[in-house]
Structure 1
């Protein structure tokens, strides 16, 4: 189950498998891309603030907290996830899309902008990998190592059965300033704890991440992406530091908007500020 504020639940058959998503509102489309080990519930506070003006589309990307596993042979490397996002936009026949990516979802969004820009109208990146904040950052190195074997990967996540561990800095403690609702947290950690097929997807995702993908994408975006890019960054980010974001904004020649009193999950810590900044970025091309 997902938060009802996300709107109507739907699903679509893609080459990689069935993808579940929610949809709310009418107007220009915003497609949200979350990061690893969260799902569409990350956007539950933001969607109601935008759905009066925008068509808000919030998929559960197959990054460890999804409910429907991908096909066994699905490509879940970074280029494969970027292709999955592009296939989703095509399946829904979305055009002039605002693609909003946060955390590692911002890394995947950069790959979409670099390699599959056809349906994009603008790219909005929020507290995510940059050329100065490598991929994988921080604890992703351990995650990548344990993804080599099903038993080590499964064992790593067992601590998440205890709610007190959710505030550790190497779990979710440096991603949200305040504790996330317990029901939402259970939607994040439950699938990886209970479903072997979801763990299989997660292992493929984590085992294939590499900083070289975002570095190449950043260069392509700087050289040839001809659509607006906006950076919306958590001012107090502990994972993707604001100075790295400023350097990336300077490289791209694009604006940087700092969201105060927030860690990486700006939609969790500061939903109103996130919604306002995202709406301004999305509306820019329609003025």
Structure 2
């Protein structure tokens, strides 16, 4: 089998969504769909996807409408967390994927839980790395960021400040989320879309729709999900602490938890080998 890589665009009811597809077109292994977090895009998963491609796994990493998406959604698109979960399900259906391994990180882990609560029919198994759970949605101090994102004018000011690599990679930017240095081109691509007023409108809609009570309510039904779940949790994450992962693993009927020493929020960037190995083991 020959691995391939492409960046494609698909039309969904909510608007155009770009996604990075990696791995062989024909594979006897379950396909993987990656879900990223707030203000980043599908590039977060590039190293993991490339490792999986070497093992013959086809994967899809969409850039969800969470603030770093290159194309604005339709003005009437539902961009609440459950609305984004429906977008994920529409993407999976449009690509005609079945028995998928759904992988989530950060806000993407919350979206994965909403997907399971909405319609798990095409999901075969789930892998979650450090992410939101219960009423930790988002964790402090990102509650302040989400409140700011509700106002497009404030988002514009944030976007201007993040043009500086020093600020973008500093302790008030992405810096604390990973232990390895960030690629400036990648993080620039994350913040560049915020220059578009329609993208700022989208992220404001998302931020207004984030309510910790909604994810807490979802958690009460996760035990009914008849899918195996693997949690891989960095134990040095100051935001999604390992105790949150331990609590989350007890919620599912069939789940395991492994920790990564020194791992932070962006485990796919710092430890792509561990994430890829967990995905392969899950299938």
Q: TM-score under structure 1 normalisation?
A: 0.91
Partner residue of 2:63 out of 60, 85, 107? 60
SS at 1:236 equivalent = coil
Task: Give the Å deviation of 1:48.
Answer: 1.2
**Alignment partners' CA distance in 2, 1:125 and 1:212:** 20
How many correspondences in the alignment?
Answer: 275
* 1:244-283 aligned within 5 A: 244-253=244-253, 254-281=255-282, 283=283
Aligned twin of 2:129: 126
Aligned twin of 2:50: 48
* 1:95-174 aligned within 5 A: 95-131=98-134, 134-174=136-176
1:13 aligns to 2:11 (yes or no): yes
Per-residue Cα deviation, 1:63-118 (whole angstroms, up to 9, x for no partner): 11111111111100011001101111111111001100000000000000111111
Aligned twin of 2:35: 33
Note closer, same or farther for the CA distance 1:34–1:107 as it changes in structure 2 (3 Å cut): same
Aligned twin of 2:81: 78
**Alignment partners' CA distance in 1, 2:70 and 2:90:** 19
Task: Give the Å deviation of 1:12.
Answer: 1.2
SS at 1:123 equivalent = strand
**Alignment partners' CA distance in 1, 2:23 and 2:84:** 26
SS at 1:37 equivalent = coil
Per-residue Cα deviation, 1:127-186 (whole angstroms, up to 9, x for no partner): 00122x610222332223223432122113322111111233342122111221111111
Aligned twin of 2:213: 212
SS at 1:54 equivalent = coil
Which 4+ stretches in 1 moved above 6 angstroms? none
**Alignment partners' CA distance in 2, 1:82 and 1:57:** 15
**Conservation of the 8 A alpha-carbon contact between 2:230 and 2:278:** no
Aligned twin of 1:180: 182
**Alignment partners' CA distance in 1, 2:150 and 2:231:** 34
SS at 1:179 equivalent = coil
Partner residue of 2:95 out of 92, 97, 100? 92
Note closer, same or farther for the CA distance 1:129–1:148 as it changes in structure 2 (3 Å cut): closer
Note closer, same or farther for the CA distance 1:211–1:161 as it changes in structure 2 (3 Å cut): same
Aligned twin of 2:225: 225
Task: Give the Å deviation of 1:261.
Answer: 2.4
**Conservation of the 8 A alpha-carbon contact between 2:225 and 2:252:** no
Aligned twin of 2:239: 239
Task: Give the Å deviation of 1:6.
Answer: 8.4
SS at 2:177 equivalent = coil
